Amino acid sequence: MASADNSQAVGDAAQAGSQATLWSRRDFFGRLGWAGFGLVSLATVLAGMRSAFPRVLFKPDTTFKAGLLSEFIVGEVNEKFKSDYRVWIIRDLQGLYALYAKCTHLGCTPRWLKAESKFKCPCHGSGFYMSGINFEGPAPRPLERVRVSIADDGQLVVDVGVKYRQENGDWDKPGSFLHA
């Protein structure tokens, strides 16, 4: 009789053990489900917040006033704005134009060599006349001009955001040159 009671007790214990394992598995999968739900909800909320604050790209101002035309000497390359705006302003007998100081080979910044009257790129040796036309080295095309105009107060306005390419015929367009 005692032996029968013992085996009954062992059976009950085994059943209770497997029941406990079953519950702990259910508990685990239940928690996993809630965690997944929480992550999906969080992602949805974040996506909503992102669309409420769209990304805006702020472009730096590309336009600046460079002074009066009379401040630019005929036959000289003015380098005053090269470090801030990457342009040279050049006045010749016909008028004035601004060249973008970026080599048309691979984008280095050329130097103005006054004694040789040319722009020379330090990277691979391209050379450009004062007009911006390329004549030596690997640069495949002239330097680009940028937009020039006159403001109401008589000052020269330069916009480095507008470029003119000689090989496209852009140097004939208004804005690429100021007759003065």
Residues that bind ligand FES (CB under 6 A): 103, 105-108, 121, 123-126, 137-139
Within 13 Å of residue 115, how many CA atoms lie on the same side as its CB?
0
Cβ of residue 36: shortest distance to ligand FES, in angstroms? 54
Cβ of residue 131: shortest distance to ligand FES, in angstroms? 17
Sign of CA dihedral 164, 166, 169, 171: positive
Cβ of residue 77: shortest distance to ligand FES, in angstroms? 18
Q: Which string of DSSP letters, residue by residue, matches 46-100?
A: HHHHHHHS-----PPP-EEEEEEGGGS-TT-EE-TTHHHH-EEEEE-SSEEEEEE
Cβ of residue 103: shortest distance to ligand FES, in angstroms? 3
Q: Which is nearer to ligand FES, 39 or 106 (CB)?
A: 106
Cβ of residue 57: shortest distance to ligand FES, in angstroms? 27
Q: Which is nearer to ligand FES, 11 or 125 (CB)?
A: 125
Three-state DSSP state, 169: coil
State the SS3 of 23-54: HHHHHHHHHHHHHHHHHHHHHHHHHHHHHHCC
Encoded tokens for 73: 């000497």
Q: Which is nearer to ligand FES, 96 or 103 (CB)?
A: 103
